[in-house]
Amino acid sequence: MVMSPSQQLDATFAALADPTRRAILARLASGEASVNELAKPFSMSQPAISKHLKVLERAGLISRGQDAQRRPRRLDAKPLKNATGWLEKYRQFWEGSFQRLDVLLDEMKAREKKPALNKREERSR
């Protein structure tokens, strides 16, 4: 199945939106592992783990190693690179410069409103 870059981001972010799947990726970061080895630390049934692995596989985040018996899974990090690329566009915002401007504008608007209110209050006196 060929996915558009947008569909790829959908699949990647959806796959990452689960603590078990993130833990599986963290485990695979230290080397490839079989389904049994992956299931062990999670006190989860193998079918439950297999379901998570399918989501990760469909997102292109894991693939299968060459060993036909163990069928080990290994991390494929390219989708993580693309997801980070998307997020990086917002770096300027979390680094503060843009957000501070927004807050400043709000404060200016709030200050503009107050004198107007005061004038009406004065008139009604």
Residues near a copy of itself (CB under 8 A): 6, 9-14, 16-19, 22, 25-26, 29, 31-32, 65-67, 74-78, 80-81, 83-84, 86-91, 93-94, 98-99, 102, 106-107, 109-110
Residue type present at position 116 = A
In the complex, least distance from residue 27 CB atom to a copy of itself, rounded to whole angstroms:
13
Pairing of strands 73-75, 62-64: antiparallel
Which of 60, 64, 63, 65 lies closest to 83 in space, CA to CA?
60
Among residues 81 and 120, whose Cβ is nearest to a copy of itself? 81
In the complex, least distance from residue 113 CB atom to a copy of itself, rounded to whole angstroms:
9
In the complex, least distance from residue 65 CB atom to a copy of itself, rounded to whole angstroms:
6
Distance CA 11, CA 82 (A): 12
Among residues 46 and 99, whose Cβ is nearest to a copy of itself? 99
Q: Are 53 and 40 in contact (CB under 8 A)?
A: no
Which of 93, 73, 86 lies closest to 28 in space, CA to CA?
73
Among residues 9 and 44, whose Cβ is nearest to a copy of itself? 9
Q: Computed from CA positions of residues 88, 94, 95, 97, in that sequence, does the dihedral angle turn out positive or negative?
A: positive
In the complex, least distance from residue 84 CB atom to a copy of itself, rounded to whole angstroms:
5
Among residues 46 and 105, whose Cβ is nearest to a copy of itself? 105
